[in-house]
Amino acid sequence: MPKFSTLETSMYTKQRAYEELLEVFGTSDRPATMADLRQLKYTENCIKEALRLYPSVPMFARELKEEITVENYKVPPGTTLVIIPYCLHRDPKHFPKPEVFDPDRFLPENCKNRHPYAYIPFSAGPRNCIDSPYSNMCLSLILVNLGQKFALIEEKIVVSNILRKFRVESVVRREDLRILGELVLRPENGNMLKLFPRS
């Protein structure tokens, strides 16, 4: 994976995420409800932006069943195509200043004209990560039927629980992070974090 020089997540982003948590939970340490999670829009956009820059599944492959044309090249059936969301998600045509961590890219007004396949952390099409139109039904259905929605709910619960109690800093700067694109994307040497209890 390329080593790149980039920006750290801004203080503004961190502050906005914490303010949203304060709005929803106040200083209470009660467990999050589904109603709380629905309100965590900025947190959700932070998670989406993290999945843009660091898609958990950095690449996947498909075998062509029929001929297609890609920019004047005819690609025959039987060809294996490798799709690399790690690179796709850094296309400046769809994500200007792609290395900048900006959760507002996922505000409805900012993604309404984006190509539907420009952002595919859960893949797309018939063999994508399991999803269902019944996402607002009860949690047991979510557990049985959904991968994507369940993953986002789970991440919101974990992230909101940690950030309600701690301010988090990464020991390793983003430009020094060495990442490996294996079956899933992972930091080569882990990612050490510092946790500062919130008073």
Report the relative pairing of strands 185-187 and 179-181 from DSSP bridges. Answer: antiparallel
Q: Give the per-residue contact string, 57-76, with ligand HEM (x = CB under 6 A; - = no).
A: x--x----------------
Pick from 54, 106, 119, 122 the residue near ligand HEM by CB under 6 A.
Answer: 122
Nearest residue (CB) to ligand HEM, 17 versus 153: 153
Residue 26 to residue 28: CA distance in whole angstroms = 6
Structure tokens of 55?
Answer: 């898609």
Assess contact for 83 and 70: CB atoms under 8 A: no
Pick from 87, 100, 118, 129 the residue near ligand HEM by CB under 6 A.
Answer: 129
Provide the minimum distance between the beta carbon of 12 and ligand HEM in the complex, in angstroms, as a whole number: 25
Provide the minimum distance between the beta carbon of 191 and ligand HEM in the complex, in angstroms, as a whole number: 16
Q: With CB under 6 A as the contact rule, which of the stretches 12-20, 53-61, 89-97, 173-181 interacts with ligand HEM?
A: 53-61
Q: Max Cα separation, the chain?
A: 62
Assess contact for 38 and 67: CB atoms under 8 A: no
Give the binding-site size for ligand HEM (rule: CB under 6 A): 13
86 binds ligand HEM (CB under 6 A): no
Nearest residue (CB) to ligand HEM, 11 versus 138: 138
Residue 197 to residue 174: CA distance in whole angstroms = 23
Pick from 48, 147, 172, 177 the residue near ligand HEM by CB under 6 A.
Answer: 147
CA R_g for the chain:
19
Helices 11-25 and 148-165 cross at an angle (nearest 10°) of 90
